[in-house]
Each structure stands twice: as C-alpha cells, then as structure tokens.
C-alpha cells in the first residue's frame, strides 16, 4: 500500500524540511474530496535556505564532468521507472487522474526526460570559429540557479521537464509545485538525491503564487521557467524582465483541430477524444476548437457522442477507469460556469456538462455543437472536459478562423490528403502541431508555443538553448594593433 502522505512539506538541501510557521493548506484527493495531508507554504526562511543550498550545489555540480552529471540523471530515470507504480499512485492522488493514465504518462514521461538529457549531457559543446589566423571559440555555460514553477495537471512531468535540461546544463533548481498538487515533485527530489545529486541541486518549496513571486525576484536566481496560465505568465515574465532574467513560459491555449471531409472519421474522433478528454480535459495543448467540415459534421458528432458514452468514470485507482474528476472544487466551478455560458450563448449541448452527484469534483464530459467563433466557450481557455465543435466550408476559411486567437500552443489536422495536411499546418500559428494525431509529446521533439501561449521550448535539443548561455572567446594569434 503506497503511503501518499508526504514526509514533510518541502525538500531542501537534500532532505525533507518543514516549517510550521508557513501558511497551512490541505492536499485534497479530487476523487473523494478527502484531505490527504496538510502542508505549509514556504516562509522566507525556507525559500532562503533553498536558494542558498541551490547556489552552493550549482557551483559543485557545474564543476563535475558533463558525463558524471548525465549519469546522475540517467540513474534517476532508472529509479523512477522502477518506482513507477508508487509514483503513479501518488500522481493520481495529487491530481485525480486515473491510474490507467498515470502509469503510462507521468513518471514514465519524467523518466524519459531525465534519460534523454542525461544522455546528451556529455555531448554539449561549444564551437570553434576560424577567422583567418585568429580564431574564436564558444563555451556553453550554465545560467546558475533556475526557478521552476508548475501547474497542477502534470506535476511529475512538469518537474522533470524543467529539472532534466536544467541540471544537464549544470544549473541547480528550486521548484515550486502548484498548491493544488504538492506531492509529486517531492518524490522527484527524493529520487534525484538517491541517484547521487548533491544536496541542494533540486529543491522543492511549497506555496501559492506569493512564494513563486518571492523566488522570481530573488537576486540569486538567473532563470524562471513557468508552466501556468497566460495571466500568471504575464506577471512572472514582467517580474523576471525587471532584472533581465531568462524565462521559459509554457502557458495556456485554445488550440484548433481541423477535420476535413476526406479525413478518416474514426481516427479524427479518436484525436478529438484524446485532445479534449484525456486527463479530464486538463491539458494545455488540447484541441478544444474542433473545426469539422460541414459535410461530415453530423457523422462526426454522432460517432463522438456514441464513443463518449463508453467512457468509464469512477474510482481513479481502478485501472479500468479512463475518466477522472476535476482537480479542485474551484476548477470544477469555473468549468461548469463555462458550460452554462455556452448554453446561454446558444451553443447546442450534445452531451454531458453536468455535475455528478457524488463526493469529489466530478462532471460528465461535454460536447457543444453549433459553436460560433465569437462565443466565450470558443475564445477562452476552459481547461476542462468541454469540446466545442464548429463547422466550416473551405480550407482558407478554416485556417483563418483557426488562427483568430491570441493563443498559439498547438494545432492538429485530420485529412488523408497529405499535401493538404502539410500546406495547412504551414499556415497555422502554433508551436506544437499534429497530422492525423493529437497531443503526442515525446521528449525528442521540441514542445512550446507561439503568440501569448508562451516563450521558449521544452524538451529536445532546443531546451538546451534555454538552460545555458554561450561565452565567446576571441583569440588573437599576432600583435594587438591600437590606433595610438
Ligand atoms: P496558474 O497560472 O494559476 O498557476 C501556475 C503556477 O504559477 C502555480 O504554481 C501558481 O502557484 C504560480 N503562480 C501564480 N501566480 C504567481 C505569481 N504571481 N508569481 C509566481 N508564481 C505564481 O495555472 P494553473 O491553474 O496551475 O494551471 C493551469 C494553466 O496552466 C492552464 O492555463 C494551462 O493551459 C497551463 N498549462 C500550460 C502547459 C504548457 O506546457 N504550455 C502545461 C500545463 C498547463
């Protein structure tokens, strides 16, 4: 039986730490509403201890050979895989996501990131630039102490997607999980220590936005990587900009999925299900505006509603369950507010959208049809299981309407015409795109956004650019000439 109760609130300098002076807040299991534990927000004493420990550890860590650093990360990946079931149960208690999902998408994806960046650590190099007889070289250096701030939908994955490239490049990290999901990142810290990371290399401090704000503005911090909403992103980005700190911003979206009349409809329905209802719809890259060609719209809706009726809502720890609760009462209220707004604005509720009469934070997955571009449910990120189906007549119209949003995280196209697929994807304003698929995020592929959905990239070699900086060194081989 996995004990999900955390050993202490924080993980600082290689050990669990508590400070009862910090504001207490409850860890609630979304499936039942039951309180699993109470943790304390980090006081200034705790954030100071974490930043001091990270500063010390970073100097020691950066002095190691890249291969030694990489080995710690790959060892951590191995331990995560060995402990996958335990970590998945903790992730399920943190978020409410069904174990069927967490067993394959959370610690495993975190392990993928640790393994990938552990593997490429010793391949990180500068370059040689020949300039006649003179020459220059570049050195890829770490940034220093990085702060990671997480959202609540993928607490293990977010911690690892930030920590793995940061540590591979020789940085240290202080990570603040979402106050809704404080448990999972503590395990990541514990595992990194077990794998041989020096004390202080990866610290976890709990708390609300205020704790995040304190970390960002601290002079010991060189970089901030946030996963969160656009509103929070604007605040964090501007606070970081005031001191010219590096940022990565992984923010919200209202991504389009385009289903053309030549699409394989069953596959398109699968893509729409994955892109709207996986993790109860709480995925940033979800394709929540599903534009379906008018000629296949009713067929699409019919199949979608039939397949959705087979979703299995229930105990998230039952591996047959494939649709879990919403993370919190607050988020459930927000989502149900959007469902009401959709109905008021004249969208047709095909199915779902009702609060379920049971303990915890449950609703049935909702599909709206006849949604128009100006409706609130088509414009704002809902971050819940609410799909908007819109219809269109031709390709140019679909592209124009798909791009008519301040967001730019993802986009997907379903068509069997490959020329059309690539042509349309080229014109869509989004960072992470899919052809005849939706929401794949392997660590080998850069993940990120354009427009207000974010800045920078996570995963792949691209992440290295965001966790390191180049020092250029000019080498003169002859005399130094001066004008006087
Ligand atoms: P949120 O913006 O409310 O909070 C995100 C984190 O920021 C939390 O840890 C929070 O405590 C912290 N925070 C809040 N105010 C802050 C401040 N002023 N200074 C510093 N930190 C502050 O987001 P959420 O509700 O936890 O998560 C949902 C959002 O995250 C959605 O918009 C979703 O699209 C987005 N998200 C994006 C990605 C991505 O990779 N692009 C992934 C997952 C979630």
Q: Is the CB of 15 under 6 A from ligand 1?
A: no
DSSP class of residue 197 equals P
Domains and CATH numbers, the chain: 10-252+453-471 (3.40.605.10), 256-435 (3.40.309.10)
Q: Tell me: the pLDDT tens digits for 73-82?
A: 999 999 999 9
Q: Is the CB of 208 under 6 A from ligand 1?
A: yes
Quick one: how many helices (H) and strands (E) in the chain? Answer: 16, 22
Strand stretches in 277-382, DSSP E: 289-293, 348-351, 366-369
- Residues β-bridged to residue 352: none
Q: Tell me: the pLDDT tens digits for 265-309?
A: 999 999 999 999 999 999 999 999 999 999 999 999 999 999 999
- pLDDT tier for residue 1 given thresholds of 50, 70 and 90: low
- Residue 213 CA to residue 368 CA, distance in Å, equals 38
Q: Are strands 289-293 and 386-392 parallel, antiparallel or unpaired?
A: parallel
Q: Is the CB of 382 under 6 A from ligand 1?
A: no
Structure tokens at 278: 């996986």
Ligand 1 mutation pick, 105, 151, 178, 215, max ligand atoms within 8 A of CB: 151
Average pLDDT over residues 427-440: 98
Quote the pLDDT of residue 2.
83
Q: Is 120:31 a contact under the CB 8 Å cutoff? A: no
- Residue 175 CA to residue 219 CA, distance in Å, equals 16
- Total-model pTM: 0.98
Cβ-based burial of 152 (10 A; exposed 0-12, middle 13-18, buried ≥19): buried
Atom 12, ligand 1: residue with shortest CA distance: 209
Q: Tell me: the pLDDT tens digits for 201-225?
A: 999 999 999 999 999 999 999 999 9
Q: Tell me: the pLDDT tens digits for 81-125?
A: 999 999 999 999 999 999 999 999 999 999 999 999 999 999 999
Q: Is the CB of 157 under 6 A from ligand 1?
A: no
Closest ligand 1 atom to Cα of 454: 41
Q: Is the CB of 383 under 6 A from ligand 1?
A: yes
Q: Tell me: the pLDDT tens digits for 149-193?
A: 999 999 999 999 999 999 999 999 999 999 999 999 999 999 999
Quote the pLDDT of residue 382.
98
Active site residues: 250
Q: Single out the residue of 111, 128, 117 nearest to residue 66, CA to CA.
A: 117
Atom 19, ligand 1: residue with shortest CA distance: 213
What's the CA-to-centroid distance between 215 and ligand 1, angstroms? 15
Q: Is the CB of 235 under 6 A from ligand 1?
A: yes
Neighbours of 19 (CB within 10 A): 18
Atom 26, ligand 1: residue with shortest CA distance: 151
What's the CA-to-centroid distance between 381 and ligand 1, angstroms? 13
């Amino acid at each position: 039986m996995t004990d999900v109760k955390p050993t202490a609130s924080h993980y600082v300098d290689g050990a669990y730490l508590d400070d009862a002076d910090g504001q207490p807040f409850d860890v609630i299991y979304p499936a039942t509403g039951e309180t699993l534990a109470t943790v304390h927000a980090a006081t200034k004493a705790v954030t100071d201890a974490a930043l001091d420990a990270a500063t010390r550890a970073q100097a020691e860590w950066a002095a190691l050979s890249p291969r030694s650093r990489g080995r710690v990360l790959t060892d951590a990946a191995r331990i995560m895989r060995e402990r996958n079931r335990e970590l998945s149960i903790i992730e399920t208690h943190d978020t409410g996501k069904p174990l069927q999902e967490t067993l394959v998408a959370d610690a495993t994806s975190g392990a993928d990131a640790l393994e990938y960046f552990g593997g490429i650590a010793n391949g990180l190099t500068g370059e040689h630039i020949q300039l006649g007889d003179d020459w220059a070289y570049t050195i890829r250096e770490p940034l220093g102490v990085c702060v990671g701030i997480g959202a609540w939908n993928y607490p293990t994955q977010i911690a690892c997607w930030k920590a793995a490239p940061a540590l591979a490049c020789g940085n240290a990290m202080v990570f603040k999980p979402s106050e809704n999901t404080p448990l999972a990142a503590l395990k990541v810290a514990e595992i990194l220590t077990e794998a041989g990371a020096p004390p202080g290399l990866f610290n976890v401090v709990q708390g609300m936005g205020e704790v995040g704000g304190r970390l960002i503005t601290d002079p010991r911090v060189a970089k901030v990587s946030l996963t969160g909403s656009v509103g929070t992103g604007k605040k964090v980005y501007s606070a970081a900009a005031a001191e010219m700190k590096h940022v990565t911003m992984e923010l919200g979206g209202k991504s389009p999925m385009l289903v053309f009349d030549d699409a394989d409809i069953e596959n398109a329905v699968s893509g729409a299900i994955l892109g709207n209802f996986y993790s109860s719809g709480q995925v940033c890259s979800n394709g929540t505006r599903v534009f379906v060609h008018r000629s296949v719209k009713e067929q699409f809706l019919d199949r979608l509603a039939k397949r959705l009726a087979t979703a299995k809502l229930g105990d998230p720890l039952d591996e047959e369950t494939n649709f879990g609760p919403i993370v919190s009462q607050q988020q459930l209220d927000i989502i149900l507010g959007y469902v009401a707004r959709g109905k008021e604005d004249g969208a047709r509720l095909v199915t779902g959208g009702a609060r379920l009469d049971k303990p915890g934070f449950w609703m049935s997955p909702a599909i709206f049809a006849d949604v128009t571009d100006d409706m609130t449910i088509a414009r704002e990120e809902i971050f819940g299981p609410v799909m908007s189906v819109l219809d269109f007549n031709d390709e140019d119209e679909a592209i124009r309407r798909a791009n008519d949003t301040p967001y730019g995280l993802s986009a997907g196209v379903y068509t069997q015409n490959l020329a059309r697929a690539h042509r349309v994807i080229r014109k869509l304003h989004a960072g992470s795109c899919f052809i005849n698929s939706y929401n794949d995020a392997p660590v080998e592929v850069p993940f990120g956004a354009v427009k207000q959905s974010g800045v920078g990239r996570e995963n792949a070699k691209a992440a290295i650019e965001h966790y390191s900086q180049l020092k250029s060194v000019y080498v003169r081989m002859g005399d130094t000439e001066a004008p006087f």
